[in-house]
Amino acid sequence: MAPSAVQVRTLERYDGDPDFTALMSRISERDRDAFETLFVHFGPRVKALMLKSGAEHSVAEDIVQDVFMSVWRKADYYAPERGAVSTWIYSIARNARIDRLRRQSSKPYDDISEMEIEASDPDAEEELALVQRADKVAEAMVELPDEQRQIIELAYMHDLPQSEIATRLSLPLGTVKSRMRLAYAKLKQKLEEIR
Amino acid sequence: MTIAHHLDDATLMRYASGDLDEAFLVVVATHLAMCEQCRKAVRYAEELGGEMLFACEPADMNPAALNTLLNRIDADEPALARQEAVRGDLPAPLARKVGQSLENIAWRRVAPGVKRHVIEMDNSTSSSLYMLWIAPGVAVPEHGHGGSEMTLILSGAYRDDLGRFGPGDVADLDEHVEHQPRVEDGAPCICLIATETRARFSGLIGRLMQPFVGI
């Protein structure tokens, strides 16, 4: 992977965690040790995601294998200026979840990431802004009111459809949507503070 | 292409978390292919997923998982060259369903000045996906929606209370919105529509239109 013009900072808030961006660039050069380190950190989290999404243990293990095969094969396509390593892995895991647990096709997601890969690199200003991104996302999560964070977690981690979230929480669908919009607005505000 | 009407923020999050059924996913992804602003907005929404994955409590793994995986990567063939992106008039998520060009759509006339092409879904779903061809100057009867509806303009333009919708614009509407789109003079309007349930038309003409059109 070509080094980017601006060094992307590691996530200092997680002392002792490896520099995942550097790991990804080693993995794209077929470094098994780097791959192992990434797996040790994220494998159990991807499994947790699948369990929360309703998969049996054995299915969750299978999906973890598939997700990390994709990580290995597609390591070249990871671009730090487009987001954190955790976000890239989340999106691969989400696509696997759609294919395996929802039994739908995640092809439209692949079409969009192909486009992103082909698109020219973000400008320098954008890249500078991105170095602080992960911290801002974490800040936004912490500052979200519980009622919004709960909905986000049910959607992203537990794979609950919007309508099912409304039923479980005994809320009108419109309220679930408006809380999602509020959470997005908070995230956007945080991310745009960087500029 | 100047896009004035974008995806609802709640829709961005449903895309990011993987909660759109096939019909809506095709419309959203087709809009994303046309709209850089929404692609960026989706990346923001995906960051939330990354953060939650990062912060979540890890599960216990099968102790053999790592070795299994390492054996698999050792046996893995060198990565195949990436497939050449599909090139045509239409964005890839839609081209997969209807082919490369608007020229070759198999339209069926459903009402005066209105043609429709229903797109088959891979799975049974409560939503439907179709394209409409509406002649210049035609007004669709006023209607609300039984569920959510999403309309993406591929060619031509229409106007309603919410403004002008031209190529790339998406009307991402809640069930409560009523509208009465009128296609601009000069060129037909071709759009891609996902509906959760069939639209309800008001008025007599509307009831007559009901079996035919769902914009």
Asked whether residue B199 carries a pLDDT value surpassing 60, the answer given is no
Q: What percent of chain B has pLDDT over 70?
A: 81
Q: How confident is the model over B51-61, as pLDDT tens digits? A: 999 999 999 99
Please judge whether A152 and B21 are an interchain contact, meaning their C-beta atoms are less than 8 angstroms apart: no
Higher-pLDDT residue of A10, A51: A51
Report domain B1-215's class: mainly beta
Q: Where in chain B does DSSP place strands (E)?
A: 108-111, 114-119, 128-134, 143-145, 149-155, 158-160, 163-165, 170-173, 182-183, 189-195, 199-201
The fold for domain A1-121 equals Rna Polymerase Sigma Factor; Chain: A (1.10.1740)
pLDDT at A10: 40
pTM score, two decimals? Answer: 0.89
Mutate one of B61, B67, B68 to test the A interface: name it (highest A CB count within 10 A): B61
Distances (CA, A) of A160 to A42, A102, A171, B99, B108: 22, 11, 14, 33, 37
- Judged by average pLDDT, the poorest of A9-23, A26-40, A55-69, B125-139 is A9-23
Residue A7 has pLDDT above 50, yes or no: no
The answer to whether B214 and B195 are in contact (CB under 8 A) is yes
**CATH number corresponding to A132-195:** 1.10.10.10
pLDDT band at A120 (very low <50, low <70, confident <90, very high): low
Q: What is the pLDDT of residue A6?
A: 38
Q: Scanning every residue of chain A, which has its alpha carbon at the shortest distance from the alpha carbon of B78?
A: A73
Tokens coding A53: 């999404």
Q: What pLDDT does B140 receive? A: 81
Q: Where are the domains of chain A?
A: 1-121, 132-195
In this predicted structure, which of A75-79, B123-127, B180-184, B188-192 has the lowest mean pLDDT? Answer: B123-127
Given pLDDT bands bounded at 50, 70 and 90, which one contains residue B17?
very high
Which whole number is the average pLDDT over B206-215?
Answer: 50
Q: What is the pLDDT of residue B87?
A: 63
Q: Tell me, what's the pLDDT at A128?
A: 53
> Looking at CA atoms only, how far is residue A8 from chain B in angstroms?
16
- Identify the residue among B19, B36, B97 best suited for mutation to test binding to A, counting A beta carbons within 10 A and taking the highest: B19
Per-residue model confidence (pLDDT) at position B86: 56
Residue boundaries of the structural domains of chain B: 1-215
Residue A43: its chain B contacts at CB < 8 A? 61, 65-66, 69
Q: Å from B200 to nearest chain A CA?
A: 20
Residues of chain A with Cβ-Cβ distance to B88 below 8 Å are none
Average pLDDT, chain A: 87
